[in-house]
Amino acid sequence: MPGPGPWGAFCPPNLPERPCCGAGGTGAADGRGPNGLGGPPCGPCPPGPCWPGAPGPEGCRQTFARRREEYRAVADLALRHGVQALLELHHQSIVSSASAAARFLDGVDPHAVGVIHDIGNMVREGYEFDPWSLEILGEHLAHVHVKNAVLRPAPAASPPWTWEWAPMRSGAAPLQRLFDGLAGVGYEGWVSLEDFSTELPLRERLRDGLAYVQELAKR
């Protein structure tokens, strides 16, 4: 098992001690979860909510600096319990791109905190040329999510477009270039299917997604 994925608020004193301890106890290598043990940090601390895309009343720069300072406690916890906390590159967060995550984790031990590369999230926001994004993350690259998304017309919206999850074989994400890039940097870690599309039944979706990823990895 690569690691648990708890969901919860990250804010001192509500630090992810229990997920760190649990991950270490199961022998899992890492753990993640939006705004918890890992995941995209965003929003103000409780009692204020953590709304995606709303970095807090003080603005993005100050929120980024504050969250970066707070996350040092997560790094310390991870090292203490012998696990690696993970940040997921996620649209509508302060770490939507590889560059943002690298700046967020500058000076942080990659054994303590790694990054989940998620091309399906990044085509929506934060996309960078795949080989470069992997190079930017460097030693912090710890896990890879694979999914796809497509931009569709939405006349009632402003702007009149919306992103929707798409089957693995279609959509905007250049998955072959991603896998070529992973081979180029010598990545040998986990690749997880995170297909949120609903066009195919679940079992068929999983079988076809696995077959497609295996094809991409062999080309």
Q: What is the pLDDT of residues 144-187, one digit of tens each?
A: 999 999 999 999 999 999 999 999 999 999 999 999 999 999 99
pTM of the model: 0.83
Read off the tokens for 154. Answer: 């939405």
Q: What is the pLDDT of residues 64-101, one digit of tens each?
A: 998 899 889 999 999 999 999 999 999 988 999 999 99
Average pLDDT of the segment spanning 26-33: 50
pLDDT tens per residue, range 181-201: 999 999 999 999 999 999 999
Three-state DSSP string of 22-34: HHHHHCCCEEECC
Q: State mean pLDDT over 10-34.
A: 52
Q: What is the predicted pLDDT for the residue at 114?
A: 96
Check pLDDT > 90 for residue 40: no
Strand residues in the chain grouped as ranges (E): 30-32, 84-88, 113-118, 141-146, 148-153, 161-166, 191-193
CA distances, 184 to each of 149, 177, 189, 190 (Å): 24, 10, 13, 16
Question: What are the residue ranges spanned by the domains of the chain?
Answer: 17-218
Place 57 in a pLDDT band, splitting at 50, 70 and 90. confident
In the predicted model, what is the mean pLDDT of the chain? Answer: 83
In this structure, which CATH number among 3.90.1570.10, 2.60.40.10, 3.20.20.150, 3.40.190.10 belongs to the domain 17-218? 3.20.20.150
pLDDT at 129: 97
- In this predicted model, what pLDDT tens digit does every residue of 92-138 receive, in sequence order? 889 999 999 999 999 999 999 999 999 999 999 999 999 999 999 99
